[in-house]
Structure formats: structure tokens, C-alpha cells
């Protein structure tokens, strides 16, 4: 995979959701990030030092991460130009866009001339097979969402950390460009050929028998008219025993679709449970993760408590308040277990 | 598209469902088919004259249609060898397999040397965008299924013919390799990149305002663990006002998945209606098409009548008994309309 340290690209982005890949890498691999590249009109920052491509190289950066994500994943003229500048300065370039770096002859030529590499993180693994839905061993938790970009990846990573802190084996199974860049492995499931969606996830998360958990990153939403097919195939391929629903309270409309309301949490959970039963008849909802970063902390806590009450499930903000309530529900701590056993 | 007339390939296939592309072309473009190619161990026939590649060329054939379809769409060594023989005999070759003819250097070299063409029918159109689910004008009917290969394409083609016979404008929108070969246009939706499933269908069936119908060929089944993602994205992209459910009574298990039962018709219809409402809130079920070719005609008629009764929808076998009851429900004939109006 792409060599660290990284320069993170923000470009001209004004939409915080559009830079989620760069933000994810900054958040989960901070030790590998030396700076951020943004144009003068970019109002966003990751809190890293702003650098030109040449300054980043001087600071030790080895790879520019094109960590921006628009629907459709296009590589426009501006992005090609900035990528060329990065290569000329001596940086490798990694991209998670649908449109591949290697399909731009100018970039390929530049990289070859300078002995640099282009990483198209969205390339599917070779030799995928169609999913079968046969029962397989192991504990699998899938994060699902009311919408795109509501915190499924962040919640998944937090749950892996929480399980490990409890001494439970757990592995993050990345299914999106950001997750793959963070984990260094995985499959960008939205980029596989449609027939192989569920098969790709069966391959990503095979049977395991060590008592540990695969925590599989969900994508999109069953309620998103652009991407629900991906979400459903992922759900079937994951064959999850546990679902965690992710949401960002207060979002005005479904990502990229002005005017389309988000589903109700209970409705969304029920639709996912019903669909998941096709390959995992005993699937259960085990928690709710809210991204309350737009709320005051008090308000966030109140909303989590109210949501937990109304849905009868542990509810938390994984970043602000941690994932302890959900981990406890999944794997009760020894003291609780003995309490339960003595009832 | 590929030049007619055609030689239809059956190869070594022993499974009638595996030759559905060759059978579809024979059924709907009989005037373009000069013969069939099968090995000695192939127990199947389309009722066409059995020919070698060279005999087919002598009979005027211009293209070999590799009309077989296994899950995964692999191009094995045997198929490559037979394709090479076809090229050596002077035939163009068309394939709907996932694995592309153009990725086989030996075939590409042979075709170039002889001035022949390789047609990879499953290649998606360039420039696809993600679906949006915005309301668009027009009447759209989608055929859905309990399983793969239960008659969605045949039913769609029959419905187009039935509507046209009634003087209603209607167009077949092909979404699978066989449909695309029959129609000469369309998109093999199972071969598009997963993010673009619904977008591909929005593009295939854009707004229309002539009062006519787009009859969109469905794929797979919401209840098939290999392909449900494709089926759901197709359903959302189609934004259908009308659904026709297709089934093959008596099938022992879901296609390719021994041990997995088919869903109940009512359950399957309800799940599709619920999912379709995301982009088409007023969607209605308008009929059921059964493939009763494995039953005696009397039994087939009785089953259609019983199914119509139990589901409260017109039910027919489109091949054996025609699609009149469903067309009548969609577009009542003038005499019926006046009867209804005078009530």
C-alpha cells in the first residue's frame, strides 16, 4: 500500500462531507500525516499545517492522499493538474475515486518518469465470486446507516478498539476508500461489479472460529436511492449477527439529494433487520451510534439517552462518549456476567 | 451491434437455465438464427439445425453467440478454444459473460488477423452517473422475480407486444445480456460498477411523456443472496408505477443455491412494493406471470386461476396463455372503459 508519511488533499472543497477520506486518515493515522494541501478558497482544515507539495516533500511526505469524495468519484481537470504538481514535486499519489489515476496518460507518464507510484485504492481485488449466503462461523457486526457519511466507519473503528480493550479479538473490515486507506486492506465495495457485491463481502469477512468479532464497515443506506443496492448486497454478504445503526441527527436531507428526508431510526432499523434475515435469520440490533458533533455536549447526551429509551438499545456518540454501552451489550464484562448468571 | 445471422452456442451445457441467452435469441429473433453449435455430450437443443462452425459459415452465419450463462460469468479454457475455432472459421463472436473476450490475447489476435469482431455485450455504457430518485414523467412497468431465470425477460417482451397490439406505445428496456442481444441496445446492469446500478437504469429509461410505457426487464430477486443488491438498485432506478411478479412454480431451490427455498409469492410482492416506494410512492402490483412450461396445460391454467384468486391480481403464463389479462388491467380496452365509466 501507499508509503507514509502523507500529505492530505482538501483542494477547493467547501463541504465537510466531501473531505471525509482526508479527515479519516488524519483522525485514525495522525502519526502518518505531515500536513494538508488546500487552495485559497478552501474554508476547511484538518488542523494540520498547510503546505505546498514541495514543502510537504521537504517535511518528509512520501504520498499525497486525494482524500476527497464526491458522488460519482470524478477526476476533474483541476484534480489532474494538482496530481501532476504532486508528482513533479516527488510525491506518490493515492486516490479512492472511481475514475482511476492510471487512466490518465499524463499522470502515468509523469509517475513513470520519476519512479513514483499511483495507487487506485478503489480497484477491486481480482477473482471475486458471487455470494452464496451459506451459513458461516463467526461473530460479525455490521454498521448500517440512515444515510451516507453518518459515521459508520468511525463507529466501526471505535467498536474494534472497544472490543480489544476488553480483551476480545476484533478486526476492522474496511469496505470504503477511507477505511481501506486507514486499514491498509479491505475492498471498496461500491466499486466492484454489481453481481459481486455480496460475494466481495463474503470474501472480505470469511468464517472465523476464535470467538472474536469481525466489525464490518457499512456503506450507504437502504434508504438512499443512489446506493441502496450496495447497502443491501453488503448486508447480505456480511451475514451479521449484530447490527449497529448510525445516524447524524439534524441532517437536512439525504446526502446529495436535496428534498429527500432521512428515514426514521426505528423504520430504518426494522428494514435492515428484515433484509438481513435472508442470510442471518437470528440477526439482532445491538446499538445506535449518533454523530452529535453539531450539538452541545449536554444536548448530545440527552439525545443519546432519549434514543436509547425510545428504541430500547444502547445509544452513544462513539467519538464524544465512547462505545462502552454497546461493547457491554455485545460482550458483558465478567462482573456483569456473574450478576446475570446469579439471577 | 453484432451482425446477423447467428450461430447459437450451447457447448457442453446440460442445464436448460444455463443456455437461456441462446434460447432467448432463438425465441425472439428466429429469423436471424441459422443453427446451433453443441458438443456430443450436450443433451439440449433449441430445435435448430446442429452445425459445426464451418457449416454455419457456409450457411451464411456471421456471428457466433456465446449464449450461455453461469453464475460468475467465467470464460473457461474450453470456451476460449471454441471461440478460437469460431474465429478461425470466419465468425464474429458475441459474449455476455462477465469475463471479456477482449481480455483474452489469443482471441484478440485471431480476430484482428481475420478482420473479425469480438462483442462484449456486458460492457457498461460510458459516463454513468449515480441515480437520484427524482420523480420523472412516464409510465414504467418493471418485471420482478422470486428468483433468477424465472421469465422476467420473456414476460417483458410479451407485455411490450401486448401493449403495442392494443395500440399503446411501449418499449422494451433490456437490462441483461440476453435482452441486450435481442433488443440490440440496453445495459447489462449486473455488470455496472455497484455505485451506478440505479443510475444506469435512470439513464436507460428516462422520462417520457407520450402516454406510452417503458417495460423494464428485472434482474435477479430481492430474495437471492447473490444478486439482491442488483435487484434493489434496479427497482429504485426504474421508479416503476407498475410491477409484474414472475415465478416458475415447482422450482426446488433458488438458482445456484441448493437448499435455499424460494419466497412465497405474496411475501415477495410485498417486499418489492415496500422497497419500490422509496422512489415510486404510488407503485402498484398489476399482475403475475408464471412459467408453467413444466406443467400440463390444464394444470397451468388452474394454477394461474388459483394464483389470481389468492393474490387478487391477473395471473397468466405469457408464453402459453398470453398477457391479455395484465394488459387489460394496465390499459383497459375502450369497451371495458365505457362499461366502467357507466357504473
| Of B103, B4, B17, B106, the residue nearest B67 (C-alpha) | B17
Domain boundary among B63, B85, B120: B120
Q: Is residue B133 situated within a structural domain? A: no
Q: Is residue B131 situated within a structural domain? A: no
Q: Is residue A227 situated within a structural domain? A: yes
Sign of the Cα torsion B125, B127, B133, B137 reads: negative
**For testing contact with chain A, the best of B96, B127, B195 (most A CBs within 10 A):** B195
Task: Quote the CA–CA distance of A136 and A16 in Å, as a whole number.
Answer: 39
Q: What is the mean pLDDT of residues A319-324?
A: 97
Whether the pTM exceeds 0.80: the reply is yes
In a shared domain, residues B191 and B303? yes
Q: What is the mean pLDDT of residues A260-266?
A: 98
The ipTM (two decimal places) reads 0.90
Q: Are A47 and A69 in contact (CB under 8 A)?
A: no
C-alpha cell at A250: 439534524
Residue A339, pLDDT above cutoff 80: no
pLDDT digits (tens, 9 = 90+) for A283-312: 999 999 999 999 999 999 999 999 999 999
Q: What b/e readout covers B184-212, taking b as 16+ CB neighbours within 10 angstroms?
A: eebbbbbbbbbbbbbbbbbbbbeebeeee
Domain range spanning residue A56?
Answer: 6-120
- The radius of gyration of chain A's CA atoms, rounded to the nearest angstrom, is 20
In a shared domain, residues B327 and B198? yes
In a shared domain, residues B183 and B266? yes
| Of A331, A332, A319, the residue nearest A291 (C-alpha) | A319
- What is the tally of structural domains in chain B? 2
Residue B129 region by backbone torsions, left for phi larger than 0, else alpha for psi between -120 and 50, else beta = beta
In a shared domain, residues A226 and A334? yes
Whether residue A148 lies within 8 A of chain B, CB to CB, comes out as: no
Identify all chain A residues contacting B274, using CB atoms and an 8 Å cutoff.
Answer: 271
Domain boundary among B85, B120, B155: B120
Domain boundary among B120, B155, B187: B120
C-alpha cell at A328: 457491554
In a shared domain, residues A168 and A226? yes
Q: What b/e readout covers B235-247, taking b as 16+ CB neighbours within 10 angstroms?
A: bbbbbbbbbbbbb
Task: Quote the CA–CA distance of B202 and B237 in Å, as a whole number.
Answer: 5
Task: Quote the CA–CA distance of A218 and A226 in Å, as a whole number.
Answer: 15
C-alpha cell at A109: 507518464
Q: How far is CA A164 from CA A14, A160, B281, in A?
A: 36, 6, 45
In a shared domain, residues B180 and B221? yes
Task: Quote the CA–CA distance of A100 and B61 in Å, as a whole number.
Answer: 40
pLDDT digits (tens, 9 = 90+) for B109-146: 999 999 999 999 999 998 899 999 999 999 999 999 99
Q: How confident is the model at residue A75 (pLDDT cuts 50, 70, 90)?
A: confident
Q: What stretches of chain B show up as alpha helix (H) in DSSP?
A: 20-28, 53-58, 77-89, 105-114, 152-165, 177-183, 197-204, 228-238, 265-276, 297-311, 324-330, 334-342
Q: How far is CA B174 from CA A140, B16, B238, in A?
A: 37, 21, 12
Q: What is the mean pLDDT of residues A228-235?
A: 98
Contact (CB<8Å) B198/A256: no
Q: Does B63 or A126 have the greater pLDDT score? A: B63
In a shared domain, residues A276 and A197? yes
Among A129, A232, A256, select the one facing B229 at the smallest CB separation: A232
A92: burial class by Cβ within 10 Å (0-12, 13-18, 19+)? buried
Sign of the Cα torsion B81, B84, B86, B92 reads: positive
**For testing contact with chain B, the best of A228, A229, A270 (most B CBs within 10 A):** A229
Q: Is residue B174 situated within a structural domain? A: yes
Bridge partners for B6 per DSSP: B33, B63
Residue A135, pLDDT above cutoff 80: yes
For position B174, which CATH number holds?
A: 3.40.50.300
Whether residue B158 lies within 8 A of chain A, CB to CB, comes out as: no
Residue B338 pLDDT: 47
Task: Quote the CA–CA distance of A95 and A64 in Å, as a whole number.
Answer: 9
Q: Are A24 and A179 in contact (CB under 8 A)?
A: yes
Among B130, B195, B226, select the one facing A191 at the smallest CB separation: B195
In a shared domain, residues A110 and A195? no
In a shared domain, residues B158 and B112? no
In a shared domain, residues A145 and A107? no
Contact (CB<8Å) A133/B278: no
Counting every residue, how long is chain B? 343
CB pairs under 8 A between A and B: 133
pLDDT digits (tens, 9 = 90+) for B217-245: 999 999 999 999 999 999 999 999 999 99
Q: CA angle B217-B218-B222, nearest 5°? A: 175
Other C-beta atoms closer than 10 Å to the C-beta of A320 total 15
Contact (CB<8Å) B227/A195: yes
Q: Out of A9-23, A163-177, A205-219, A258-272, which region has the weakest mean confidence (pLDDT)? A: A9-23
Residue B228 pLDDT: 98
**DSSP one-letter code for B48:** S
| Of A111, A71, A76, A114, the residue nearest A94 (C-alpha) | A111
**DSSP one-letter code for B263:** P
Q: Is residue A126 situated within a structural domain? A: no
Question: To the nearest whole percent, how much of chain B has pLDDT over 70?
Answer: 96
Average pLDDT in chain A:
94
Instruction: Compare all CA atoms of chain B with the CA of A236 and give the residue at the minimum distance.
Output: B225
Q: How confident is the model at residue A337 (pLDDT cuts 50, 70, 90)?
A: low
Q: Is residue A89 situated within a structural domain? A: yes
DSSP B120-153: ETTPPPTT----------SEEEEEEESSSSSSHH
Residue B72 pLDDT: 56
Q: How confident is the model at residue A255 (pLDDT cuts 50, 70, 90)?
A: very high
Residue B335 pLDDT: 67
In a shared domain, residues B98 and B188? no
Q: Which residue has the cell 477526476?
A: A75
Residue A336 pLDDT: 57
B residues 178..237 contacting A (CB < 8 A): 189-195, 197-199, 222-223, 225-234, 236-237
Average pLDDT in chain B:
94
For position A114, which CATH number holds?
A: 3.40.50.720
Contact (CB<8Å) A257/B133: yes
DSSP A48-62: SPB--HHHHHHTT--
In a shared domain, residues A107 and A56? yes
- DSSP helix/strand/coil, B273: helix
Whether residue B129 lies within 8 A of chain A, CB to CB, comes out as: yes
Q: How confident is the model at residue B333 (pLDDT cuts 50, 70, 90)?
A: confident
Q: Is residue B127 situated within a structural domain? A: no
Q: What b/e readout covers B92-120, taking b as 16+ CB neighbours within 10 angstroms?
A: bbbbbbbbbbeebeebeebbeeeebbbbb
Q: Where are the beta strands (DSSP E) in A124-238?
A: 139-145, 170-173, 213-216
Biggest distance spanned by C-alpha atoms of chain B: 71
Q: Which residue has the cell 460482550?
A: A331
What values do phi and psi take at B223, rounded to 5?
A: -100, 10
Q: How confident is the model at residue A343 (pLDDT cuts 50, 70, 90)?
A: very low
Residue B71 pLDDT: 53
pLDDT digits (tens, 9 = 90+) for B72-109: 567 788 899 999 999 999 999 999 888 899 999 999 99
Q: Is residue A76 situated within a structural domain? A: yes
Instruction: Compare all CA atoms of chain B with the CA of A226 and give the residue at the minimum distance.
Output: B131
Among A132, A190, A195, select the one facing B98 at the smallest CB separation: A195
Q: Are B201 and B238 in contact (CB under 8 A)?
A: yes
Residue A333 pLDDT: 81
DSSP B195-245: GGHHHHHHHHS----SS-EEEEPP-S-TT-TTTHHHHHHHHHHH--SEEEE
C-alpha cell at A58: 521537504
Instruction: Compare all CA atoms of chain B with the CA of A233 and give the residue at the minimum distance.
Output: B229
Amino acid at each position: 500500500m501507499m508509503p507514509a508519511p502523507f500529505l492530505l488533499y482538501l483542494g477547493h472543497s467547501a463541504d465537510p462531507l466531501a473531505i471525509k477520506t482526508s479527515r479519516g486518515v488524519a483522525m485514525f493515522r495522525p502519526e502518518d500525516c505531515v500536513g494538508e494541501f488546500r487552495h485559497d478558497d478552501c474554508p476547511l482544515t484538518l488542523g494540520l499545517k498547510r503546505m505546498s507539495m514541495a514543502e510537504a516533500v521537504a517535511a518528509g511526505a512520501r504520498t499525497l492522499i486525494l482524500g476527497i469524495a464526491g458522488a460519482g468519484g470524478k477526476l476533474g481537470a483541476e484534480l489532474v493538474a494538482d496530481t501532476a504538481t504532486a508528482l513533479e514535486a516527488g510525491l506518490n499519489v493515492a486516490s479512492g475515486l472511481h475514475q482511476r489515476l492510471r487512466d490518465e496518460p499524463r499522470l502515468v507518464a509523469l509517475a513513470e518518469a520519476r519512479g513514483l507510484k499511483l495507487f487506485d485504492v478503489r480497484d477491486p481485488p481480482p477473482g471475486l465470486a458471487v455470494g452464496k449466503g451459506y451459513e458461516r462461523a463467526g461473530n460479525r457486526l455490521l454498521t448500517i446507516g440512515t444515510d451516507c457519511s453518518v459515521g459508520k466507519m468511525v463507529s466501526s473503528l471505535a467498536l474494534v478498539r472497544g472490543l480489544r480493550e476488553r480483551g476480545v479479538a476484533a478486526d476492522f473490515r474496511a469496505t470504503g476508500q477511507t477505511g481501506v486507506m486507514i486499514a491498509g486492506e479491505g475492498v471498496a465495495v461500491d466499486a466492484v461489479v454489481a453481481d459481486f457485491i455480496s460475494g466481495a463481502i463474503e470474501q472480505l469477512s470469511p468464517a472465523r472460529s476464535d470467538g472474536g468479532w469481525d466489525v464490518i464497515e457499512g456503506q450507504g443506506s437502504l434508504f438512499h436511492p443512489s446506493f441502496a443496492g450496495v447497502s443491501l448486497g453488503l448486508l447480505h454478504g456480511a451475514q451479521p449477527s449484530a447490527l449497529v445503526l448510525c445516524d447524524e441527527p439534524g441532517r437536512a436531507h439525504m446526502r446529495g439529494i436535496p428534498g429527500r428526508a432521512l428515514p426514521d431510526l426505528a423504520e430504518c432499523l426494522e428494514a435492515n433487520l428484515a433484509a438481513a434475515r435472508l442470510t442471518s435469520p437470528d440477526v439482532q440490533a445491538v446499538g445506535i451510534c449518533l454523530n452529535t458533533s453539531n450539538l452541545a455536549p449536554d444536548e448530545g447526551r440527552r439525545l443519546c439517552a432519549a434514543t436509547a429509551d425510545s428504541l430500547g438499545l444502547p445509544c452513544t456518540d462513539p467519538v464524544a462518549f465512547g462505545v462502552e454501552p454497546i461493547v457491554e451489550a455485545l460482550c458483558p464484562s465478567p462482573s456483569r456476567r456473574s450478576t446475570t448468571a446469579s439471577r
